[in-house]
Amino acid sequence: MRQSRTLIPTLREIPADAEIKSHQLLLKAGFIRQNSSGVYSYMPLGRKVLQKIEAIVREEMDKAGAVEMLMPALQQAELWQESGRWYTYGPELMRLKDRNQREFALGATHEEVITSLVRDEVKSYKRLPLTLYQIQTKFRDEKRPRFGLLRGREFVMKDAYSFHSNTESLDEVYQALFEAYSNVFRRCQLNFRAVIADSGAMGGKDTHEFMVLSDIGEDTIAYSDTSDYAANIEMAPVIMEYTKRDEADKELEKVLTENKKSIDEVSEFLTVSPNQCVKSLLFKIDEQYVLVLVRGDHEVNDIKLKNLFNAGIVELASQEETKEILSCPVGSLGPIGVSHVEIVADHAVKAIVNGVCGANEENYHYINVVPERDFSVSQYADLRFIQEGDPSPDGQGTILFAKGIEVGHVFKLGTRYSEAMNATYLDETGKSRPMIMGCYGIGVSRTLTAVAEQYNDENGLVWPANLAPYQVHVIAVNMKDEEQVKLAESIYTDLLEKHYEVLFDDRNERAGVKFADSDLIGLPLRITVGKKASEGMVEVKVRKTGETFEVHYEDLFAKVTSLLYTL
């Protein structure tokens, strides 16, 4: 491709509103351009990388036995009303009306569409298992689009759906796609982990997320320092056994704690450690108020709370609600004497002896609190976030944290959609049964960003050779020098004939601009045709290492081939 013929609008300055490296560089190097908040154009170079990632995804999905198709982005509301999600999703689901005022959603995902399609076309167990996938644009009206393609309102997803007559078959396909995903992210040269995840609103039980380790990742991974255990912190179970302190129960006492509200203020004032305190928080769980107790040095895990109550909505009660329900402000809340609100506690609370908790009276706390003597709870459960240093849930090693970018997510859905939408098949005995389903997503545009985030240096992007928009960047230093142009043109033509992917900088720009743009775009190899063109000598430079080689034109292709092979 001649640079004078394509569109690569590189920028000299870093765009102000781009916070992370990949977003800055993809804008600066002319790979993407923003149309509106969270909505982007893929410029020619960006499109080429996207295509390479899609090609890897297709190869691995096809190898795993999935069949590609393409579903509509325009989804009639009736399908979402059948599954019930028309009513449970809020403004994130983009909705519109057609000319006859009929309601549609722009596809955020395709469980409803694929289930209605398979429901109509598949009747017998003989046609199962069936795994269909597509690579398509998804629409989600994110409240705060950010980080460029990482959290956009329109993005490219590969989404697959599998249909089964039994759970063993689902397990097989889940495993096959789990391996396919590992192959995809390995081939994209990404440092990733498959982590145990929470199925959230999707129902079903098993689910894994594929996380690329990155400091700018929005998810936190809890992983073991000795085994391969890794889980999204949202669901990582705490297996700690808590032992009571060996101390006689003391008499309960109410003390004045003037203006001491937070655990730190109270524990310091009363000279006890936070792990001697009971932290009480009022939650609203599907409109029901619940007082949740955790140890002072722990945090309530709202996902675990949601799963415990099998709830749809879990949120912290406001100050006003707290005052109204417990007639006491946040900061002096406690379980003692509370009988009109359900109380649940994390396991760690039960082991507290002679502890501290709020007295449900402003500026007062209780000391010498003994759980089960001074208050009781409806149940003790694992309700806290796992912390660094906790024992790994698999019993091997201790937990460390890392930040991750979610690039893939695989779910065992069960019959959540097939029952809601009556997608049934006739089994061997002729009995009608709901199909068992799995669903599997890869964020293709998000994967592109994760690669850019992992592969860059102070001069720009440094694409892995198999993902770069082109393999070789040919630069003629001075387009007014006939010798240089002649040699550069023949190198360009010869490389194309040998089926290399070549970007030829034939612009009438100063050498400095050409080299800066070349470093920014980040193709794996650069061939510079400069002063020594008259002797047939050119310079080959490896972008990743900065290594340069003086090569005679005759030896050039062998050099390019051997270098590309190592990248």
Report whether 404 contacts 194 (CB < 8 A).
Answer: no
Among 21, 28, 119, 140, binds ligand 9G3 (CB under 6 A): 140
Peptide bond into 391 cis (omega under 30): no
Among 89, 289, 364, 380, binds ligand 9G3 (CB under 6 A): 89
Q: Among the candidate windows 64-72, 89-97, 311-319, 485-493, which touches ligand 9G3 by CB under 6 A?
A: 89-97
Q: Smaller CB distance to ligand 9G3: residue 118 or 461?
A: 118
How many whole angstroms separate alpha carbon 235 and alpha carbon 482?
A: 66
Residues ≥6 apart with Cβ < 8 Å to 175 = none
Q: Smaller CB distance to ligand 9G3: residue 111 or 505?
A: 111
Q: Among the candidate windows 32-40, 88-96, 315-323, 375-383, which touches ligand 9G3 by CB under 6 A?
A: 88-96
Q: How far is the CB of 142 from ligand 9G3 (least distance, A)?
A: 9
93 forms part of the interface with ligand 9G3 (CB under 6 A): yes
Question: Measured at CB, which residue is nearest to ligand 9G3?
Answer: 441
Q: Give, as ranges, the residues between 408 and 427 that touch ligand 9G3 (CB under 6 A).
A: 409
- What does 110-149 look like in DSSP terms, one character per residue? -HHHHHHHHHHH--BGGG-SEEEEEEEEEE---SS-BTGG
* Residue 190, CA distances (Å) to 56, 246, 519 in order: 13, 50, 21
Nearest to 445 by CA among 41, 225, 156: 156
202 forms part of the interface with ligand 9G3 (CB under 6 A): yes
Report whether 75 contacts 112 (CB < 8 A).
Answer: yes
How many whole angstroms separate alpha carbon 467 and alpha carbon 48?
A: 8
Q: How many CB atoms lie within 10 A of CB 259?
A: 9
Q: Smaller CB distance to ligand 9G3: residue 207 or 471?
A: 207
Q: Smaller CB distance to ligand 9G3: residue 292 or 407?
A: 407
153 forms part of the interface with ligand 9G3 (CB under 6 A): no
Among 22, 109, 280, 301, binds ligand 9G3 (CB under 6 A): 109
How many whole angstroms separate alpha carbon 109 and alpha carbon 555?
A: 52
Contacts 24+ apart (CB under 8 A), 10-19: 10/516, 10/517, 10/520, 10/521, 18/148, 19/146, 19/147
* Greatest CA separation for the chain: 97
Among 79, 266, 439, 462, binds ligand 9G3 (CB under 6 A): 439
Q: How far is the CB of 359 from ligand 9G3 (least distance, A)?
A: 43
Q: Among the candidate windows 44-52, 53-61, 436-444, 492-500, which touches ligand 9G3 by CB under 6 A?
A: 436-444
Q: Smaller CB distance to ligand 9G3: residue 93 or 349?
A: 93
Q: How many CB atoms lie within 10 A of CB 287?
A: 8
Among 30, 441, 469, 530, binds ligand 9G3 (CB under 6 A): 441
Q: Smaller CB distance to ligand 9G3: residue 112 or 505?
A: 112
Report whether 404 contacts 231 (CB < 8 A).
Answer: no
Mark 284-323 with x for binding to ligand 9G3 (rule: CB under 6 A) and - for no binding. Answer: ----------------------------------------
Q: Among the candidate windows 219-227, 328-336, 380-388, 433-441, which touches ligand 9G3 by CB under 6 A?
A: 433-441
How many whole angstroms separate alpha carbon 536 and alpha carbon 518?
A: 22
Q: How far is the CB of 229 from ligand 9G3 (least distance, A)?
A: 23
Q: How far is the CB of 116 from ligand 9G3 (least distance, A)?
A: 15
Report whether 539 contacts 494 (CB < 8 A).
Answer: no
Q: Smaller CB distance to ligand 9G3: residue 160 or 386?
A: 160
Report whether 490 contacts 461 (CB < 8 A).
Answer: no
Please give the size of the binding site for ligand 9G3, defined by CB under 6 A.
12
* Residues of this chain that bind ligand 9G3 (CB under 6 A): 89, 92-93, 108-109, 140, 159, 202, 409, 439-441
